[in-house]
Amino acid sequence: MERRVVITGVGVVTPVGNTVKEFWDNLVSGRSGIDRVKSFDPSHLPSQIAGEVKNFDPKDYFEPKEARKLDRFTQLGFAAAYQAVKDAGVDFSHIRPADAGVVTGAGIGGINTLENQHRVLLNKGERFVSPFLIPAMIPDMLPGCISMRFGIRGPNYSVSSACASSAHAIGLAYRHIKNGDVSIIITGGAESTITPLSFAGFCNMRALSTRNDAPQKASRPFDKNRDGFVMAEGAGILVLEDLEHAMKRNAKIYAEIAGFGFSGDAYHMTAPDPEGKGQIEVMETAIASSGLKKSDIQYINAHGTSTPLNDKIETKAIKAVFGELAKEINISSTKSVTGHLLGAAGAVEAIALTLAITEKVIPPTINYEEPDPECDLNYTPNKPVEKEIFAGLTNSFGFGGHNATIVIKKFE
């Protein structure tokens, strides 16, 4: 018999809050976390705004010497994992080490470390480059760090599929439990790429919003005047468990993961397929795998990046999948509040969907001011909506044509 997979713990570090409560309160209230970049001087760049994590101190989670060996993305990811494990109330010393796993995602990984050490190389020479450059930089250091702290010896790896990375990680973790590989997995993702090099690359791609005079208005998914996404950093981590395992230890259960889908566009390095073929396929696959009817889906946490192409094509794909039902579904893009957390976005948005189900509130798409004729669905504009949600889905689409959809439903 296939196992059921439930969510028993969540943790976040985001531009709108470093705890789940603060994150959720700001999401529902529509308080933007976007501001002018503080971590470096952006004045020479076309885009000068981002969603930076505020008031984060790695010493809350690490000894100072240990923190210095880790890139910021690993620090943020571990902090979210620590919160999620505490929230789940799980003691890994009471679990057989090989019956637990860690699967996380990062689209880029330790680029802060790479840039800093490259400057050391140019200014001082190779002898001064840190011996921790490689271990700090590689994306799999996050699951490695988590597993070492909690003594976990089951599946342990990182996924990299651009902005779908952490959604893919959750999907793979879900499958590990369904297949009986392990009973409990820490999963999600982290990203921290607010650096001069990353900004230069995205700016030259013309992917970022240049609404520098009004940062909190810059991320405006599905609005007619959207002009690009806003880069953000942070982490989202979930504890997934086999239902029987969770019930044996009397764990609180947030919701159940009901289905998951993968697909590829096979179209372009950065642009989505203009007909949304991969996006249609991934939503259809995820819903079919869940055993739910399309009418059961009452909320979609959209990928909704605030770029001209993405929002239009995602809307087209939703309409193709749901037909007339599409107009009845509440859709929102929480990126309007947080910015785009790149490889961490899927996990943070899966947590937003989970909380929407448990709290019975759909967070809004803020900055929705002028409708776009090509984006003509219900995007839950500017104000939250109280609603009993039986099931919802969250979309994540990455450069390279990588698509992931997670279906989450109310636990019964």
Give the CB-side neighbour count of residue 114, counting CA atoms within 13 A: 15
**pTM for this structure?**
0.97
pLDDT per position as a tens digit, 253-291: 999 999 999 999 999 988 889 999 999 999 999 999 999
- Angle CA 392–398–404, to nearest 5: 35
Enzyme catalytic residues: 163, 303, 340
How far apart (Å, rounded) are the C-alpha atoms in residues 100 and 182? 5
User: 388 and 412 in contact (C-beta within 8 Å)?
Assistant: no
Give the CB-side neighbour count of residue 383, counting CA atoms within 13 A: 2
The neighbour count for residue 83, using CB atoms within 10 Å, is 21
**Which residue, 61, 79, 12, 5, is CA-closest to 251?**
5
Task: Output the pLDDT for position 270.
Answer: 85
SS3 content of the chain, % helix, strand, coil (to 5): 40, 25, 35
pLDDT per position as a tens digit, 186-210: 999 999 999 999 999 999 999 999 9
How far apart (Å, rounded) are the C-alpha atoms in residues 226 and 306? 6
**Which residue, 216, 168, 188, 225, is CA-closest to 338?**
216
pLDDT per position as a tens digit, 76-119: 999 999 999 999 999 999 999 999 999 999 999 999 999 999 99
The single-letter DSSP state of residue 14 is B
The neighbour count for residue 309, using CB atoms within 10 Å, is 12
Question: Which SS3 state, helix, strand or coil, does residue 79 take?
Answer: helix
User: 30 and 383 in contact (C-beta within 8 Å)?
Assistant: yes
**Which residue, 31, 384, 28, 24, is CA-closest to 236?**
24
Q: What is the chain's mean pLDDT, rounded?
A: 96
**Can you tell me the mean pLDDT for 1-6?**
88
pLDDT per position as a tens digit, 379-402: 999 999 999 999 999 999 999 899
Q: What are phi and psi of 16, to 5 degrees?
A: -115, 20
Task: Output the pLDDT for position 2.
Answer: 78
Query: Which of the residue ranges 160-174, 257-271, 322-336 would you say has the lowest mean pLDDT?
Result: 257-271
First to last CA, the chain: 18
Query: Is residue 364 predicted with pLDDT exceeding 90?
Result: yes
How far apart (Å, rounded) are the C-alpha atoms in residues 48 and 78? 28
Domain count, the chain: 1
Task: Output the pLDDT for position 77.
Answer: 98
pLDDT per position as a tens digit, 220-238: 999 999 999 999 999 999 9
Going by pLDDT thresholds of 50, 70 and 90, the confidence category of residue 1 is low
Identify residue 365 by its one-letter amino acid code: T
DSSP structure string for 93-148: GGS-GGGEEEEEE-SS--HHHHHHHHHHHHHH-GGGS-TTHHHHHSTTHHHHHHHH
Query: Is residue 359 predicted with pLDDT exceeding 90?
Result: yes
Q: Give the list of residues 6+ apart from residue 101 with CB closer than 8 angstroms, or none.
A: 152, 154, 155, 156, 173, 176, 181, 182, 184, 185, 186
Domain interval for residue 50: 1-412
Query: Is residue 18 predicted with pLDDT exceeding 70?
Result: yes
| CATH number of the domain encompassing residue 140 | 3.40.47.10
Name beta bridge partners: 240. Answer: 7, 185
Task: Output the pLDDT for position 378.
Answer: 97
